[in-house]
Structure 1
């Protein structure tokens, strides 16, 4: 997940959050990495001034109201928002790590055991959302963040109340990601039911374990045709045998044929426990396997050493999670032939809890505090956010970025 410096046109602060860099963008707006006066990191979403009108502002306000009602340990929380501001903005919990799409793209599909753990975790999280009478409606690999404390679901901008036919979009308009969209949603049926999220979760788990989605086509019209035709089955190639029955059921064409989320949790748990692993242990393995090794905020706020040029400072804060050396080897075993439980640790290795041994070689360890302190000069720690040095550093970054970027 690259964090790039702010451009000269970017605001330095919004709603009390000091903006530190860019972490993403879309057709409607920009997402910044921000920090509250008390040091709390946040993902600050801002609507582009060029698209702000009364309708956009209303939809943004509805998104904020929905986010206020969404809760749960596996959902990125709303921190603050002001839909009436110019420009409108909202701040959500910042999750340090790759999304599932980027992780699989960089490191390959997850082992079957970890996919089952991911399924149990996300199904439980979605069940909590459904109890609040909400549907996600756009669950996809890019909306699952793999943080240091486990996966979290983001982007409820398309969420609707489960018991209502009222949506955030115009009548007869289909909104969502077609490759993860169930047939009834692609056909524009209203009202939608919780089974739309069951289907989308099945598509996410299929991608996690195989590296591809249920349907693939270069043309969006062909893709919609594949999704809505009951005679065209989803592509389950590369799925380990143990997971085929569950994913087949979750991706059923008819909503009533899909299992409820509590049944998804039960089946994922059964798959895990059948291999002699506890569910909590499998979740710890998942987090160990997917957690990002780089501390974005520490690197971003590091005070440049004396004598370094502003260009070097700008380069130092463009942080990217690279593929660790131990994860760059090609996978020699096809996903369909991978065992549900990864191979045990090498003989002679001791552990207080052998069942908690990571399923794969551990990632490269993060630098120790001592090592990081050497990179931060004599102080041994980063400066305060509102110190003079921090503001000088920010100004240097802006100048360096403006000098190298055409606007």
Structure 2
């Protein structure tokens, strides 16, 4: 029989002090719950319990008569005392029936966790080894980023018990003495069921970045749930990798460790789990987290519930709902989700997707895609698209164009390799990349190539829109706007007018169907329609179109207005010019004042866009107030 010394008890008490964990009343705790909690985290037969996660459970003092903290119990007689260089001190009271999580100490005194399939190994050693090897492989690929760091592993072919050791995850990522990092259930409880918008955006960004990072390394977690997500003060860490899919090969043991949160499973028709399976789970998880209820968000949202007014922008909310599309091809990628959260967060949070970070990702994934285009090509192409836009924003036009060209080439290769089964998602991605390439070519003065690129994108989007207006209508309208501008630059004004008129019709239909966040898109198309009508001398119609655009912009809710304020201000400037041309100078000056008001409310004075809008508004005001503007006949 294993006995436990006073030194062991003293160590455990020291762990408690270092981790800042409170004591709880001593009472028997069932060591083997009936439901799985990913990663060996807390759970019971009816409702998962509030525990941090594997690697962050509380330690205990096993002296008879002394209080025990919740979460840990003394080692059982059949438990090992040491696994490798790790001295085992206590076992988690909760988690998977077949995977036991131990609190341990490394030879250098580092507190860690060790997971071992003790019970399973006795009757099915092959499965036990597979679970350990899968988790170790996943942690190796994650490299301590967005997941615990792998500290040790043993998966012998015969004989000894397999195990895997990983670092603890603390609330303060840079302070090993800080309390355990809470999981999403604990975070929601800490805030009384309603998390602040800033925290939701930070967690959403961290989670989507973590999943995108895993996908870029050929991993599909497959078991995402509230307890598999640990939240530190800096980022999000994922645990529970024992049954993950690696390089498209599913675990053969998912039925051994079934997922308890069934609403997070997409139920896709494909035999193998895919990155889109994780995206479904991320969407369901974040929408439930946002609602404050761990239940299926589709069933809860009757049109009058919390998710109709969630306190986040409509664009981001619509993107989250797209994660639950029945057709996996219609779901966004994890990388696109991360970008949506970065844009919604703004400020320092968005800087995490900085040029340097993306450049490093491009270099890394380029090598992976060169070896396996099927697994890594999509992630590589999307990174190139993001990188192209970032380079363009800082004036590196040649580099931006090169990235845009490479992105299009990768999408073309994916489309040729994927065949008919990949035609819709890859055609959509190629169309987006071509439209972006058109802008980059235009910036480089290559007008003819720019028009060719956007015309090809428009053809692709037209077919996609025919298949599904709800999914691809917005993309088609955006591309038609771009095409109209390119045609106008080429002097093909009537064709340019036809393109923008179709974009306006798409926007009106989307509004009739009640699509969220359509107002800004429609207003942008109406502003361009005004320009095209003006090109043809139809000033009255141009003024009517731009006036409608300014009205739509003015009626947008604040969170959406903030994202389109530059377009709103430019629309007002265009409207002022049209009014000035008609001799309505006082009305035009009022509109110029309105453009300054939009700038004051939403603009960042340090931005290039704000500077340009200020200059345009000042010039228009000077023109309107000048003697030439007031002269008869002008």
TM-score norm. by structure 1 comes to 0.57
Q: Deviations over 1:75-121 (max 9, x none)?
A: 11221111236432211121122111222134333222221222222
Q: 1:73 aligns with which of 126, 145, 148?
A: 145
Q: How does 1:4-403 map to 2 (within 5 A)?
A: 4-5=59-60, 6-9=73-76, 10-23=79-92, 24-49=94-119, 52=122, 53-63=124-134, 64-84=136-156, 86-96=160-170, 97-107=181-191, 108-164=193-249, 166-169=250-253, 175-176=258-259, 177-184=261-268, 189-213=270-294, 215=296, 236=307, 239-242=310-313, 243-273=316-346, 277-279=347-349
Q: Helix, strand or coil: the match of 2:108? A: coil
CA distance in 1, matches of 2:81, 2:222: 33
Structure 2 counterpart SS, 1:39: coil
Residue 146 of structure 2 aligns to a residue in which SS?
Answer: coil
Superposed CA offset, 1:295-344 (max 9, x none)? xxxxxxxxxxxxxxxxxxxxxxxxxxxxxxxxxxxxxxxxxxxx98xxxx
CA distance in 2, matches of 1:58, 1:143: 21
1:19–1:278 CA distance, 2 compared to 1 (3 A) = same
* 8 Å Cα contact 1:78-1:92 kept in structure 2: yes
Higher relative contact order (CA 8 A, sep 6+): 1
Shift in Å at residue 279 of structure 1? 0.7
The SS at the match of 2:90 is: strand
Whole-Å Cα distance in 2 between the matches of residues 76 and 236 of structure 1? 32
Bigger-Rg structure (1/2)? 2
The SS at the match of 2:320 is helix
- Equivalent position SS for 2:87: strand
1:137–1:160 Cα contact (<8 Å) kept:
yes
Quick check: 2:120–2:128 contact (8 Å CA) kept in 1? no
Check 1:112–1:8 CA distance in 2 against 1; reply closer, same or farther (3 A cut): closer
Moved more, 14-23 or 137-146: 14-23
Q: 1:28-54 CA distances to partner (integer Å, 9 max, x unpaired)?
A: 122122121112221211222365323
Indicate the residue corresponding to 1:364 in structure 2: none
User: Comparing both structures, which one devotes a greater share of its residues to strand?
Assistant: 1
CA contact 1:35–1:42 (8 Å) conserved in 2: yes
- Judged with a 3 Å threshold, the aligned counterparts in structure 2 of structure 1 residues 167 and 87 are, in CA distance, closer, same or farther, namely closer
Shift of 1:267: 1.3
Gaps of 5+ in 1: 217-222, 284-338, 341-407
Structure 2 vs 1, CA of residues 279 and 178 (structure 1 numbering), >3 Å: closer, same or farther? Answer: same
Task: Return the alpha-carbon distance in structure 1 between the equivalents of residues 309 and 82 of structure 2.
Answer: 47
Greater than 6 Å deviation, 4+ residue runs = 280-283
Partners of 1:19 and 1:149 in 2: CA distance: 29
3-state DSSP of counterpart to 1:38: coil
After alignment, is 153-162 or 46-55 more displaced?
A: 46-55
Count how many residue pairs are aligned between Structure 1 and Structure 2.
265
Residue 62 of structure 1 aligns to a residue in which SS? Answer: helix
Change in CA separation of 1:237 and 1:91 when aligned onto 2, cut-off 3 Å: farther
- Following superposition, the deviation at residue 61 of structure 1 comes to 4.1
In structure 2, distance between residues paired with 1:154 and 1:253: 26
Contact 1:60 1:83 survives alignment (8 Å): no
> Contact 2:210–2:236 (CA<8 Å) still a contact in 1?
no
Q: Which runs of 5+ in 2 are unaligned?
A: 1-50, 52-56, 61-72, 171-180, 354-557, 560-634
> Would you say the 8 A contact 1:20–1:33 is kept in 2?
yes
TM-score (norm. length: structure 2) = 0.38
